[in-house]
Amino acid sequence: MPGWLRLPPSPSESKLAMMHFYYNAAPNPMKIALLLEELGQPYEAHPVDTRKGEQFAPDYLRLNPNGKVPALVDGETVVFDSNAILLYLGDKTQQFVPAIGDSAQRGAMLSWLMFIASGIGPYSGQAVHFRNAAPEPKEYALNRYDFEAHRHWQIIEERLTHHTYMLGETYSIVDMAFWGWARLLPVVTGMKDDTWARYPQTQRLIDAINQRPAAARAEALKTRHTFKADMDDEARKFMFPQNERLKKG
């Protein structure tokens, strides 16, 4: 078993086991890092270097069959997918989530959490990919994903024009899901400094979250491990396995 990987503890150990968090510095794991730091519960962080293909190690695939980060092991419970982990931890601790009986706020939380999961994340990620990594020709694909990324972020901007946080006046796991991606919005849009002129309310909330001590601790998690930076042939093979199908035999 690779040294970086710790599998779920045995049932006899589960009551005493601390949580195990598998991460890299990408937006989705950083959401979980923020929540874990906000909760103040002990956890052990395990880096998974996706440019080295560690996400495809058989032991890690036992935790997340999709071969992506993050994943969380909490005793005998294994949860993967970032927004599922946010919801799991929020409900377990009853922190940063509306009460089960508050159906109106609960509905809003689930709606905006899934909006980020199904819209903000995928379209932002694909916009970055086609802008920075895809070979030519890519005009059609970049146009589609850039358009949809902006459309989704404009919906967030409109929401924050009328609300302090995504759920109104209460900081929640939805804001943490937002923060993971919003920090990289200039990279998503390719607009650099002009991004914040277009999305001032988004910047307002990012700045407010960044002022929280938990956000600083979450950002510091990235410095604990030196992830592979080079996008060489090995990294491209692991990051873009679909390209293998394009090779001529």
Q: Is the model's pLDDT at 240 over the cut of 80?
A: yes
Kindly state the percentage of the chain with pLDDT values over 90.
78
* 70 vs 16 pLDDT, higher one: 70
Q: Is the model's pLDDT at 25 over the cut of 50?
A: yes
Q: pLDDT (tens digit, 9 = 90+) per residue, 186-210?
A: 999 998 779 999 999 999 999 999 9
The predicted pLDDT at position 17 comes to 64
Q: pLDDT (tens digit, 9 = 90+) per residue, 107-140?
A: 999 999 999 999 999 999 999 999 999 988 999 9
Residue 28's pLDDT band, with cuts at 50, 70 and 90, is very high
* 68 vs 10 pLDDT, higher one: 68
SS (H, E, C) the chain: CCCCCCCCCCCCCCCCCCEEEEECCCHHHHHHHHHHHHHCCCEEEEECCHHHCHHHCHHHHCCCCCCCCCEEEECCEEEECHHHHHHHHHHHHCCCCCCCCCHHHHHHHHHHHHHHHHHHHHHHHHHHHHHHCCCCCCHHHHHHHHHHHHHHHHHHHHHHHHCCECCECCCCHHHHHHHHHHCCHHHHHCCCCHHHHHCHHHHHHHHHHHCCHHHHHHHHHHHHCCCCCCCCHHHHHHHCHHHHHHCCC
Q: Which of 60, 37, 42, 63 is nearest to 50 (CA)?
A: 60
Query: CA angle 44-45-49, nearest 5°?
Result: 150
The predicted pLDDT at position 7 comes to 54
Kindly state the percentage of the chain with pLDDT values over 70.
92
Q: Is the model's pLDDT at 1 over the cut of 60?
A: no
The predicted pLDDT at position 10 comes to 52
**Domain 103-212 of CATH type 3.30.360.10:** no
Rounded to an integer, the average pLDDT of 160-180 is 98
User: Could you state, in order of their start, the residue ranges of all structural domains in the chain?
Assistant: 103-212
The one-letter code for the residue type at 89 is L
Rounded to an integer, the average pLDDT of 32-37 is 98
Name residues whose C-beta falls within 8 Å of residue 103's C-beta, 6 or more positions apart in sequence: none
* 83 vs 4 pLDDT, higher one: 83
